[in-house]
Structure formats: C-alpha cells, structure tokens
C-alpha cells in the first residue's frame, strides 16, 4: 500500500483513526498528512494519552503535543520502558551464553580457550552492543523533541527466546518506538543512522583489541564481538522495509553508501578473522 501523503510504498501502513487513510511513519499523525479532521483530532487528544497501533503485535502511547521530551543533557525513561529493557537484556544475555555452548558442541572452539569469565564478558558486551544501538536511537530522537521508548515486540521476543535453544540465533526482542512530529529529514537521518554508527564503533574497537592485546582466551571473544557488531550494522543498513537502512537510503543515498561500504568491508574482514 502507498502512503496517501507521499506515495511511498509501505508494508505496514499506519491507519489514521480520524480520516481512515493509510500513511507511512512520517505522515502517520493527523497534522503530518493534512487530515481533514485535524481540528477534531487536536480537540479530542489535547492533554490525553494517544495510543499508536501501527505494527500489529505491539502498541505504545505518548502524550499528544507534549513538549517535555526535549531536555538538554537528559534522557527520559519510563518504568514500562525499563521493564521492557530488562526483559530484552535477559534474552540477549541468554543468546550470548548459548552461542558459546553451540560453538563448543560443534567443536569449533575448545574448552581451554573459554571459561565462565570469558563467556560472561562475551555475553555482557554483546548485550551492551544491542542496548547501545537502541539507546542511540532514543538519544537522537529525544534531542529532536520526540517521544522515544523501547518496547518488546511479541514475535521478536518469542523468536529471540527460542533462539537461545536453537542453532539459529536471532537478536530482535524489540525496538525503539518513536512518536511525534519530525520537523525535517536531517533529524530523521540522525535518528536512523545513530544505532548503526554505535555498532560500527564497537566493531572497530573490538577489532583493535583483537590485535593490540597479547593473545589470550579473550582474543576470540574480541574478534567475535567485532564481527557481531559489524553484522548488526550491516543488517540494519539493508535498504528495505522497516530497516534503518531504508530510511537512510531514501533520505540521502550518499550517506547510506558512506555507511554501507565500510560496514560491508568490516563485516567481511571480521568474518575471515574468526
């Protein structure tokens, strides 16, 4: 379906509860698509909590017209968001530990190369990489004056949980939900690319540690963390659907290429190392 405001093809369009039209994430709010019932929407929702149901398996809410999200040097958190972050943290930690068990059962690593200190280090920093990616989106969104909170998604959380016990690993328990009026494409670009940049930095740091420090039981962990972060960045740069890469590609193809090419090289390099 195409957005009725900008004609962009949208796989999961937002449905306006006031005019019934289908819109993309940028034009989902009544004031962003010249809704014919905009006055009614503002009168009804002023000072009330609005719930956005655009993705099917999760919902989130924020106060319409609230200006308190933009705080200098301050990140706003809600109890619900912290609860969702806590569950996501537990799930990703489980994935980190299960990766070691899976590699060991395949005889791809030796027990002598790993111990519980290394396993814990690996699981913790893999989780930190995931959380930093999401928080980077949050920080940039709140700097732009938008509502931004992390929410678990039903199928994402279920598949991540199942991945703890299966050979196939998927780290997607939830995502950063963003609401409000985005004033310009530059803000959208910053929000979309923030997570990718955080993973690229982590990958470069862990790759440096792989060669800068003496060989030890941590060496493989450094290299593997470098690869995981590079892959997370590359995966999110896919210019399709709901991925960050699609938004970046639409806004500025040169910026997308400047991020995609080095990330691809970094992913291939780290993969060959491990």
Q: What is the DSSP string of 141-166?
A: HHHTT-EEEEEE-HHHHHHHHHHTTS
The answer to whether position 54 is within a domain reads: no
* Tens-place pLDDT, residues 91-131: 999 999 988 777 767 665 554 467 888 889 999 999 999 99
User: Is 72 contained in some domain?
Assistant: no
Asked if residue 85 is part of any domain, the answer here is: yes
Could you tell me if 27 and 127 lie in one domain? no
Domain assignment of residue 61, yes or no: no
Sign of the torsion formed by the C-alpha atoms of 94, 266, 257 and 145: positive
Residue-wise pLDDT tens digits, 178-201: 887 777 888 999 999 999 999 999
Question: Does 31 share its domain with 154?
Answer: no
In whole angstroms, how large is the CA radius of gyration of the chain?
Answer: 20
- Name the residue range of residue 224's domain: 79-273
Residue 5, in any domain of the structure: no
Residue 161 falls inside a structural domain: yes
H helix or E strand, kind and range, residue 14: strand 14-15
Domain count, the chain: 2
126 and 230 fall within a common domain: yes
The answer to the question of residue 67 being in a domain is: no
63 domain-assigned: no
Give this prediction's pTM. 0.73
Check residue 57 and give its pLDDT.
Answer: 42
């Amino acid at each position: 379906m195409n957005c009725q405001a900008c004609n962009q093809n949208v796989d999961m369009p937002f449905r306006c509860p006031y005019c019934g039209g289908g819109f993309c994430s940028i034009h989902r709010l009544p004031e962003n698509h010249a809704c014919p019932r905009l006055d009614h929407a503002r009168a009804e929702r002023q000072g009330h909590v609005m719930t956005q149901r655009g993705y099917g398996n999760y919902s989130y809410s924020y106060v319409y017209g609230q200006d308190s999200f933009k705080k200098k040097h301050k990140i706003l958190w809600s109890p619900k968001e912290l609860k969702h972050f806590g569950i996501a943290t537990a799930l990703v930690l489980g994935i980190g530990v299960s990766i070691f068990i899976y590699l060991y059962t395949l005889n791809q690593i030796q027990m002598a190369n790993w111990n519980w200190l290394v396993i814990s280090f690996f699981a913790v920093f893999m989780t930190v990489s995931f959380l930093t990616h999401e928080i980077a989106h949050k920080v940039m969104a709140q700097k732009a004056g938008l509502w931004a909170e992390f929410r678990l998604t039903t199928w994402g959380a279920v598949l991540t949980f199942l991945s703890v016990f299966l050979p196939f690993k998927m780290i997607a328990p939830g995502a950063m939900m963003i609401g409000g009026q985005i004033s310009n494409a530059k803000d959208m670009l910053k929000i979309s690319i923030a997570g990718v940049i955080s993973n690229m930095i982590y990958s470069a740091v862990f790759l440096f540690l792989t060669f800068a420090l003496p060989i030890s039981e941590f060496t493989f962990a450094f290299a593997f963390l470098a690869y995981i972060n590079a892959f997370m960045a590359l995966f999110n740069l896919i210019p399709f659907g709901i991925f960050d890469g699609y938004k970046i590609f639409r806004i500025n193809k040169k910026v997308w290429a400047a991020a995609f090419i080095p990330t691809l090289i970094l992913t291939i390099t780290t993969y060959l190392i491990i």
